[in-house]
Structure 1
Amino acid sequence: MRSSVDNDAPTAERYRAFAEVEARGMSECYDAWALGVAGDPATIALIDELPPAKRQPNLVFSAARFHDAPVGSYARFRDWLHEHWREVRETAETHATQTNEAGRCALHVPALAAIPGPLALLEVGASAGLCLYPDRYSYRYSGHAPLDPLDGPSRVVLDCETRDAGSAAAPVPVPDRLPEVVWRAGIDLNPLDVTNPDDLDWLDALIWPEHDDRRARLRAAAAIVASDPPRLVAGDLNERLAALAAEAPAGATLVVLHTAVIAYLDEAGRARFADAVRGLPGHWLSVEGRRVVPGIVARDDVPNDSTDFVLALDGVQLAWAQPHGRAVTWVPNP
């Protein structure tokens, strides 16, 4: 996730917004830490040693937890952070928020299953590629029959609430079978390798403290990925997209997908990406914050939470989605 406050905002403002908009109701620990930082000039002075893009709360907190920061009160965290700031600063400078939440596949599957297959998936901002395996996980959508891979239930089971938003919303089109995926590839500035213990530990540190279910799911999904690794290329998504898309096999439908990635581009980069992906053959599946992707109109006529993402196919919103894949509200055709 990304704070609604940009990199140029004062650090205190960024951390207060993170507490109130993103962590509130999702992580008691991060809520307390972020509010604590926002009111603590000495800690802000440390964080301001980082470049603006590296001061984001999720990155700093994850870097601290990568070095075993104690989960709990802000006072205890503050003392630890000041003592270990050199290690935390180095990790924040050399790492990025590459959260790879397999649970987001629960958002992708209803849209992917409606696209004629077989599918060639290309994810931008792929991290370690865990979201390139929607056909290898099991799904439990509330109010629907279990949805499992053809060879039986997966070790990764994704629960997703199909939210009732009243008569304004359309029913979630949960399929009766998973999409067939024949090619998986991704682009990331720094692809992670789930067989590398340090990379896996970094992915673990990016999971918020109270989310033990996500932590267990990460390890199970990583084992699936390690058994059949995707093609991951390093580089800027705008520079590498066309060439990698051209590698998709003939006879497969290309789907370019991304979740919580485009927000990290500047306005010109977002526009360039949107133009490029619209020019490719196949389809474009995006799950991003409202007002992030150029040309996509968010359906505020359908009830949604302030932190919900816009799930869109080919530039048209299909649903409101909880960012980690926990819930989805389909919207009716405009």
Structure 2
Amino acid sequence: MSATSTDPTTELADVLVALADGNFRGYSPTYERIARAWAEDPDLLTTTLELRPEGMPVSMLPISLLAVVHELVLREPDLALAAIYRGEEQDPWPAFRDLVTARAPEIRTRLANCSIQTNEVGRSAALIPSLAWITEQLPGRDLALVEIGPSAGLNLLADHFFIEYRNPGGTALATGDPSSPVRLQCDLKGDTTPPLPAGPLPIVARTGIDLDPIDVHDPDATRWLEACLWPGVTDRQERLRRAIELVRHAPHPPRLHAGDVLDLLDPVIEDLPPGAVPVVFSTWALAYLTRQRRQEVHDRVAAHGTGRDIVLLTAEYPHVIPWVPAARRPHVEEGTDATLVGVAWWRDGHARSAPLAWTHAHGAWLDWIGGEGSS
């Protein structure tokens, strides 16, 4: 998603249209309608830019403002927009526009003091086959998970979810705990079946690094997580709530470190259980770093690869992870917004990398390609 103009108003309109076309269409009709109307409303475009915190890129402004407004709606269920977000069949645009205009000072303050926390558990549908693939490459080895940008750490318990994969022909594959309260469904594209664990994954540590990790016991913090979801996609809200409950009651919840990834990555890796293979992973977290900082994350992991086996697993836009070889899109329509799942790993001091899959940003579908074009 990139703007074609340096004019902020035009850039903002372009970002909104790109969101409507590439992210919201066919998935979140409520946000699609808002985004398209917003892009054509000069007054609200101007107001939005006036609300932008210093340093926030225009490209991040719409998603951030949508989340802040959603948080207002969750806090105040009697708002007109709240009924629409709960499913009332009514045009959301007038209520959205009125709310932004009426509550502009409050929205400005919140925008300056928040960051998007999309702890989307649906992404575990791409994470589990990737971890299964890694165990195939490193047979008999324990894995120590380190998530970059874990938010509340929900996906660090991915193997505690029940996931069903549906083939184009209608048959289904399943993995995980059948009694889990978190149940995911993922459509498979193409004929390649992703690898699934034959038994429990050999995970011996679960830790994460986040600038502002979410405490699952804090109702205000978990409400913000829900606010970062998109209204109308009810299965996302339900699985988020269930995943939060699962982590709240987990006997061994993930250990989350607050701080900058470049400050904490080395000591966190060094503190992992001896003999375990660190799997440093991100799902739509590196995209929020600058290009230089993303590369430095890769280089830090690579530096550890000179002395131990280690893996860097990423689910990001392709341009965010240039160390992953280019991958064909056999069953993903060109122009469709898609996330590339890729892996770089170091074994016995030798570096390799491979694309593993294309996936929907929230795990709705998966096109497994399984290392084609690896280097």
Q: TM-score, normalised by structure 2?
A: 0.82
Tell me how far 1:325 sits from its aligned partner.
Answer: 1.2
> After alignment, is 220-229 or 186-195 more displaced?
220-229
Partner of 1:321: 359
Partner of 2:327: 299
- Residue of structure 2 aligned with 1:79, choices 98, 103, 106: 98
Partner of 2:182: 156
Give the number of equivalent residue pairs.
Answer: 326
Tell me how far 1:67 sits from its aligned partner.
Answer: 0.3
Tell me how far 1:113 sits from its aligned partner.
Answer: 2.0
The letter of the residue matching 2:182 is V
Alpha-carbon displacement from aligned partner over 1:23-63 (angstroms, at most 9, x marks no partner): 11111111111112212122122221213337521111010
Distance 1:177 1:327, change over 3 A: farther
Alpha-carbon displacement from aligned partner over 1:94-138 (angstroms, at most 9, x marks no partner): 111110011111101112123244321100011110110022111
Distance 1:15 1:291, change over 3 A: same
Alpha-carbon displacement from aligned partner over 1:261-292 (angstroms, at most 9, x marks no partner): 11111121121112112233421111001221
Alignment of 1:40-189 (within 5 A): 40-49=41-50, 50-51=52-53, 52-53=56-57, 55-68=60-73, 70=81, 71=85, 72-114=91-133, 115=135, 116=139, 117-142=141-166, 143-149=171-177, 152-164=178-190, 170-189=192-211
Tell me how far 1:5 sits from its aligned partner.
Answer: 4.5
Asked if 1:308 is matched to 2:338, the reply is: yes
Tell me how far 1:301 sits from its aligned partner.
Answer: 4.9
Instruction: Give the secondary-structure state (helix, strand or coil) at the position aligned to 2:99.
Output: helix
* Distance in structure 2 (CA, Å) of the matches to 1:301 and 1:21: 16
Which runs of no fewer than 5 residues in structure 1 stay unpaired?
none
* Distance in structure 1 (CA, Å) of the matches to 2:240 and 2:125: 14
Partner of 2:283: 259
Tell me how far 1:144 sits from its aligned partner.
Answer: 4.1
Rg bigger for which structure?
A: 2
Tell me how far 1:13 sits from its aligned partner.
Answer: 1.8
Alpha-carbon displacement from aligned partner over 1:207-257 (angstroms, at most 9, x marks no partner): 110111110111110111112332111222122111111111113221101
Contact 1:29 1:73 in 2 (8 A): yes
* Distance in structure 2 (CA, Å) of the matches to 1:272 and 1:240: 13
Contact 2:148 2:285 in 1 (8 A): yes
Alignment of 1:169-248 (within 5 A): 170-228=192-250, 229-248=253-272
Instruction: Give the secondary-structure state (helix, strand or coil) at the position aligned to 1:320.
Output: strand
Contact 2:226 2:237 in 1 (8 A): yes
Tell me how far 1:4 sits from its aligned partner.
Answer: 4.5
The letter of the residue matching 1:160 is C
* Distance in structure 2 (CA, Å) of the matches to 1:131 and 1:59: 22
* Distance in structure 1 (CA, Å) of the matches to 2:289 and 2:4: 11
Which runs of no fewer than 5 residues in structure 2 stay unpaired?
74-78, 86-90, 345-352
Asked if 1:331 is matched to 2:359, the reply is: no
Alpha-carbon displacement from aligned partner over 1:58-83 (angstroms, at most 9, x marks no partner): 11101001001613421221012101
Distance 1:227 1:6, change over 3 A: farther
* Distance in structure 2 (CA, Å) of the matches to 1:13 and 1:322: 22
* Distance in structure 2 (CA, Å) of the matches to 1:235 and 1:106: 27
The letter of the residue matching 1:218 is L
Contact 1:109 1:178 in 2 (8 A): no
Question: Taking CA–CA contacts closer than 8 Å with sequence separation of 6 or more, which of the two structures ends up with the larger relative contact order?
Answer: 1
Distance 1:251 1:241, change over 3 A: same
Q: TM-score, normalised by structure 1?
A: 0.91
Tell me how far 1:7 sits from its aligned partner.
Answer: 11
The Cα RMSD (Å) is 2.1
Contact 2:24 2:31 in 1 (8 A): yes
Tell me how far 1:297 sits from its aligned partner.
Answer: 2.6
> After alignment, is 34-43 or 120-129 more displaced?
34-43
